[in-house]
Chains A and B, each alone.
With several copies, the nearest count.
Chain A
């Protein structure tokens, strides 16, 4: 605790650093902010690899554990290359209000020295790439244990370009939603609503796992999922607080409310299970955590601690309810609940941002001139547009993929497990 220390030794080494930061300011690149965004980039990649891969892998049967990891890993690689070639340009090129265009294809016009704000554009590019990676990987939870590997890759690649990149442009790339003043700090619309809506549709087009809904086997390794969940939590600090693109007061508050929402939603889910079934489960508490994090994401830069708690509570309740709804009412085998947790959470958070972002609820304030009501309208337009676009293009992409390579592996391969039948290896040779 140097803080305490300072009281003891009055002369400190920090003075030169202060002067220095003046100079840095003049020269535009801010090294403190750059350091934080570099770190956040590592944290967000960590969410997918190995975080999300483990979270999902623990939930499936042991004969499909490697296939789920393979999905996440290969999508991450594919998206990275596509992002460099065209994705980034589609999302962050000047373009028009609908589409970023081709100006930044293969980072053309961006040199090592180009800045984006006060950090290098290369850093902004890589940071954004980690968001582009995790979003299609979230959808993996909709189709495990039965989808063809070639279809997974084709779907994910097209989805990145036709759903993710455009919506990102609308919201963060200067497109029409951002012009309208939509608030989405770290991806309630861009990441969670797109992935959630698309997951639900894909799952229903693909059809359920062989033994759905009765006859399903419990998660083969909840501990593995816990490891993944914990990594998601840690990485989410980079996701939300990194979205401030600076090591500043915004980042600080974003990290705080992110953490509080995660903790609150975890407890909510745990209590529901405890009361309903008498057994609070590890799978339950970590699912609550993801629900809380997805819900706070769009609001994380706007709300205060009170907002964090309330959003955590609402996120936990709503997503719990949605899980049951999809499984029992809709009977769609969105196997690992991508829509119920990410979709519902992301949408709820986007709407709630306009409530808890208001100063009256302890938030940092809505955009000038906006009221809670007016902002709620804008947020709703964002939600509707994002969901419709995601559904429409997911439909097209799935049809196309189905036509090219087909969607499902054979029943024999399902029985054998995708690890052996598709990837030629087995998860546990203990």
Chain B
């Protein structure tokens, strides 16, 4: 199994979720994160003084999938989350050695 960890723009979350569901992905987990990269945070000005906001709000989507689904999932995320603008984010893939559904104790791909 693979963990696909996608860092995307917050405004793309709903579209990504829908596209993945259409693909048959059964579940995913989302966290609010802050990103630092080529895209710079905005500058806020308070009472004339500049405050540099270093970080940009991003959403991290974690999806554990069975190996054969990997390419389709990556491709789907890429196509939906892409706006051709700096800061669209990244997709990282990690190996998952085990998965278990807490409710049933099922393991492996059945747990997803």
Binding site for B on A (CB under 8 A): 213, 215-219, 273, 276-277, 279, 281, 283-284, 287, 320, 323-324, 327, 337, 415-416, 420, 424-426
Residues of B within 8 A of A424 (CB): 42-45
A-B contact pairs, 19 of them (CB 8 A): A213-B49, A216-B49, A216-B51, A219-B46, A279-B45, A281-B45, A281-B46, A284-B46, A284-B47, A287-B47, A320-B48, A323-B48, A324-B48, A327-B47, A327-B49, A416-B11, A424-B45, A425-B44, A426-B44
- Does residue B14 face the partner (Cβ distance < 8 Å to A)? yes
The reply to whether A425 and B48 contact each other, CB–CB distance below 8 Å, is no
> What 0/1 pattern do residues 1 to 30 of B give for CB contact below 8 A with A?
000000000010010000000000000000
Q: Is B47 in contact with A323, judged by CB distance below 8 angstroms?
A: yes
Q: Flag if A415 contacts B49 (CB, 8 Å).
A: no
Q: In the bound complex, do residue B46 and residue A218 qualify as a contact, i.e. CB atoms below 8 Å apart?
A: yes
Query: Are A283 and B46 touching (Cβ within 8 A)?
Result: yes
CB neighbours (8 Å) of B102 from chain A are none
A277-B11 contact in complex given A216-B51, A217-B51, A218-B51, C-beta closer than 8 Å: no
Smallest CB separation, B51 vs chain A (Å): 4
Q: How far is the CA of A228 from the CA of B51 in the complex (A)?
A: 23
Bound Cα distance from A273 to B47, whole angstroms: 9
Contacts of A276 in B (CB 8 A): 48
From B11, B14, B44, B48, contact of A218 by CB (8 A):
B44
Report how many residues on chain B are interfacial, defined by Cβ distance under 8 Å: 12
Distance A216 CA – B14 CA, assembled complex (angstroms): 12
Q: 7 nearest interchain CB pairs? A: A415-B11, A218-B51, A218-B44, A324-B48, A323-B47, A277-B45, A283-B46
Q: How far is the CA of A287 from the CA of B47 in the complex (A)?
A: 8
Chain B 23-67 interface 0/1 with A at a Cβ cutoff of 8 Å (1 = within): 000000000000000000011111111010100000000000000
Chain A: CB-nearest residue to B49: A327
Contact A218 to B42, CB < 8 A, known contacts A320-B48, A323-B48: no
Enumerate chain B residues within 8 angstroms of A420, measured Cβ to Cβ: 42
For the complex with contacts A277-B45, A284-B47, A425-B46, 13 further pairs of A-B residues with Cβ separation under 8 Å are A216-B49, A217-B51, A218-B46, A218-B51, A281-B45, A284-B46, A287-B47, A323-B47, A327-B47, A337-B47, A416-B11, A420-B42, A424-B44
Chain A: CB-nearest residue to B11: A415
B14: A residues at CB distance < 8 A: 215
A102-B43 Cα distance, complex, nearest whole Å = 46
A426 neighbours in B (Cβ, 8 Å)? 44
In the docked arrangement, what's the CA distance between A334 and B51, Å?
17
> In the complex the two chains form, what is the Cα distance from A415 to B9 in whole Å?
10
Min CB distance B8 to A, Å, is 13
- Considering only CB atoms, which chain A residue lies closest to B83 in the complex? A412
Among B43, B51, B53, max chain A CB count under 10 A is at B51
* Bound CA–CA A327/B49 (angstroms): 8
Q: Which residue of B lies closest to A424 (CB)?
A: B44
A319: shortest Cβ distance to chain B, in Å? 10
A327–B48 contact, CB under 8 A?
yes
Bound: A213/B51 CA distance, A: 9
